[in-house]
Structure 1
Amino acid sequence: MMRFVRLITVYAIAFSISLLAGWAIRAAWQPGAPDAAGYPPEASGIAAEAYEPERDMGMSGQMGSGEPIAVMAGRRADGHSSEAGAGTGAHRHEEGGDTGSINADWSINGGKQPKAGQPAVIRIAVTSGGQPVEHFASSHEAKQHLIIVSRDLSYFAHVHPVDFGGGRFEVKTVFPAGGDYRLIADFEPEGAGPVHRMTWIQAAGRKAPEVPLQPDDRLARLADGVRVQLTAESPLQAGNEVTLAYKLADEKTGAPVTDLQPYLGAIGHVVILSSDARLYLHVHPLESQGSGPEAKFQTVFPQAGIYKIWAQFKREGSVITVPFTVRVT
């Protein structure tokens, strides 16, 4: 009898060791335990693309003093937010409209306030009716576009978070100065059409001097060796369709630029924001355009006011970002 009991004990110990070993092997193959938001910790080190955000000419390199406050405006201290704007119109969005059932939960640095000049991890969880959105359509070679602007619109970045599945997106960025930033996630759940969700965050650190937003006297600018001229082919009036025509020439030779490369599958892209960063338009170019020297985009400004327009083109492997500020009557 005792021999039988010892035999059973030996088998039990062997089974326990085998089970523990299996757990250890599985743990070794897992990418890491998820954090409170359900993201693997090492995922925060992966950026969507090697994109150097453009800082337009109006933003000074000198910074003033500023005190850090809450990580996420109007939300919990854990750094999550789900502020939403309307997102059912095709590339035309206004904060505070019908938000539908699609929501975005924002997490910045796992709930810790981002600091100017240091890498910050932005995580966006997209849900519909409380359930993760599993499938997204690719819109111009990306499943999500993330626009980042400073409150005075002098800083602009357009990046593309990594899709980790289950409605979870992530990207790493660096806020150049302390202060408020508008984050706008632009995406298209399959079968739902274009959607955008936005929030405000505040980065700790020294603030850059605020740049007053004034309409440009001349819609011509030099950017990365290219002279860019913008013409509105009809009056800039709210509610009217307008064609924005860009003409590009080489700075040195003055020759028309005819070697533009496709950027996200098109000749270029245009992002437009109202002065308060509440009205957002993501404009794609007219079809069947070549490689320059002209690029045309059609849009409708929803309200009168001052708007900032960023156009992006690609030439010789680099993205050129060209900002203009206009008044719409």
Structure 2
Amino acid sequence: MNTALKITAFTAGLATVFGASYGIGHATGGSSDDAARPSAAHAGHESGSPSPSSPAARGKAEPLPGGLQISDRGYTLSLDDPYETAGARTDLRFRILGADGEPVTSYRTEHGKELHLIVAPRDLSTFQHLHPTRAADGTWSASAALPAAGEYRVFADFTPAGASQNLTLGADLHAAGALRPSPPAVTGRTVTADGYRVTLTGDLTPGRATRLTLAVTKNGKPVTDLQPYLGSYGHLVALRAGDLAYLHVHPDGEPGDGRTPSGPDIAFTTTAPSRGTYRLFLDFRHGGTVRTAAFTLSATGTAPAAGPSTPSSAAPSPEHGGAHKH
């Protein structure tokens, strides 16, 4: 991926945002769903009377954002070797294991690929969106750059064949070397990527679906001939600083639908699960090359209360089933 922000902002934010769930070593020894999800007994007030808007009052736990768990719904992300050396490219090899412990070898195609791989350090200073290749035995491999020492997070975004929902599993990758941690980069509403200027409008509100629009210009002129990338005119990844929660972001429209222009605006809808700082990474293609623009955005406000008959807007609708649809 050719992008000026790949080393500066994108990956660093990823690492800080999605680092709460720590999968060290092989994924087969990772966290279980039961350990990661809050129990109903602890969801309410200490007095034992749960809040009307708490998961316990609604009778079910809120779904966790993607990427926080190394195992979910019977599937496990297993890195062959989670220990690497910084400063050189490395061949990442991994498998998705099913409930029977065997590698998964059949997937649904999403956005033109069977599996999307995101690699970012916990300080979110860089970002890589990779498309690994799969061998017949279910082993995936991809060449990745680890430019600096530190703790990285690897996200596998996929849908097994026959499954109704998309999954995003996360595992930790350790790069040895001299570590110089830094906080997520501070950006304004306009950033530069390889000579392109990208301007973000819209805000993140906890618990509510919001619209984000990113406008692309070059040399002061709107770019109106963006090229499709992964089924849309842009691909947006959002990560929550502090635990690296992976947000599913949905584009508004798609190339060839008769209503979505090829720039300069690229619109998305997403839901921030909580207050906090988020890193947003936009991949877009122009002139045959994919560029990445990275933003740091805060979600402020209070998440809306959701009663038993009023589901939270943060929860996936039955139509989408939580799937990562772009």
TM-score normalized with structure 1 length: 0.70
Q: How far does residue 259 in structure 1 lie from its aligned partner after superposition?
A: 1.5
- Is contact 2:27-2:71 (8 Å) kept? no
- Is contact 2:224-2:264 (8 Å) kept? yes
- Is contact 1:56-1:323 (8 Å) kept? no
Residue aligning to 1:196: 168
Matched, 1:262 2:233: no
Point out where structure 1 has 5 or more consecutive residues left out of the alignment: 1-50, 60-72
Give 1:266's aligned amino acid.
S
Residue aligning to 1:27: none
What's the secondary structure of 1:138's corresponding residue? coil
Q: How far does residue 84 in structure 1 lie from its aligned partner after superposition?
A: 6.1
Q: Deviations over 1:113-160 (max 9, x none)?
A: 311122322112112212332210111111111111111111111101
Choose which of 218, 236, 240 in structure 1 pairs with 2:204. 236
Choose which of 283, 287, 303 in structure 2 pairs with 1:316. 287
Q: 1:165 to 1:174 in 2, by over 3 A?
A: same
- Is contact 1:56-1:155 (8 Å) kept? yes
- Please list, as runs of the form range in 1=range in 2, the aligned pairs for 1:94-109 lying within 5 A after superposition: 95-96=68-69, 99-108=72-81
Residue aligning to 2:96: 126
Q: How far does residue 279 in structure 1 lie from its aligned partner after superposition?
A: 1.1
Q: 1:301 to 1:123 in 2, by over 3 A?
A: same
Matched, 1:136 2:107: yes
Q: How far does residue 163 in structure 1 lie from its aligned partner after superposition?
A: 1.4
- Is contact 1:307-1:326 (8 Å) kept? yes
What's the secondary structure of 2:229's corresponding residue? coil
Q: 1:85 to 1:181 in 2, by over 3 A?
A: farther
Residue aligning to 1:153: 124
What's the secondary structure of 2:181's corresponding residue? coil
Q: 1:296 to 1:90 in 2, by over 3 A?
A: farther
Once residues 117 and 70 of structure 2 are traced to their aligned partners in structure 1, the CA distance between those partners, rounded to angstroms, is 20
Residue aligning to 2:197: 227
What's the secondary structure of 1:145's corresponding residue? strand
Q: Let me know the Cα RMSD of the aligned residues.
A: 2.6
Q: How far does residue 91 in structure 1 lie from its aligned partner after superposition?
A: 11
Once residues 276 and 81 of structure 1 are traced to their aligned partners in structure 2, the CA distance between those partners, rounded to angstroms, is 21
Identity of aligned residues (%): 32
Q: How far does residue 172 in structure 1 lie from its aligned partner after superposition?
A: 1.8
What's the secondary structure of 2:281's corresponding residue? strand
What's the secondary structure of 2:125's corresponding residue? coil
Choose which of 248, 256, 274 in structure 2 pairs with 1:282. 248
Q: Deviations over 1:174-199 (max 9, x none)?
A: 21011111111111101222111111
Residue aligning to 1:117: 87
Residue aligning to 1:168: 139
Once residues 94 and 118 of structure 1 are traced to their aligned partners in structure 2, the CA distance between those partners, rounded to angstroms, is 25
Q: How far does residue 264 in structure 1 lie from its aligned partner after superposition?
A: 1.7
- Is contact 2:281-2:293 (8 Å) kept? yes
- Is contact 1:271-1:283 (8 Å) kept? yes
Give 1:247's aligned amino acid.
A
Residue aligning to 1:210: 181
Give 2:228's aligned amino acid.
P
Give 2:76's aligned amino acid.
N
Residue aligning to 1:295: 266
Once residues 300 and 227 of structure 1 are traced to their aligned partners in structure 2, the CA distance between those partners, rounded to angstroms, is 25
Q: How far does residue 161 in structure 1 lie from its aligned partner after superposition?
A: 0.8
Residue aligning to 2:43: none
What's the secondary structure of 2:72's corresponding residue? coil
Residue aligning to 1:177: 148
What's the secondary structure of 1:260's corresponding residue? coil
Q: Which has the larger radius of gyration?
A: 1
Matched, 1:93 2:59: no
Q: Deviations over 1:177-233 (max 9, x none)?
A: 1111111111110122211111111111233x33322653x311121121110001x
Residue aligning to 2:217: 249
Q: 1:92 to 1:85 in 2, by over 3 A?
A: farther
Matched, 1:55 2:6: yes
Q: 1:275 to 1:177 in 2, by over 3 A?
A: same
Once residues 114 and 86 of structure 2 are traced to their aligned partners in structure 1, the CA distance between those partners, rounded to angstroms, is 27
What's the secondary structure of 2:295's corresponding residue? strand
What's the secondary structure of 2:87's corresponding residue? coil
TM-score normalized with structure 2 length: 0.70
What's the secondary structure of 2:66's corresponding residue? strand
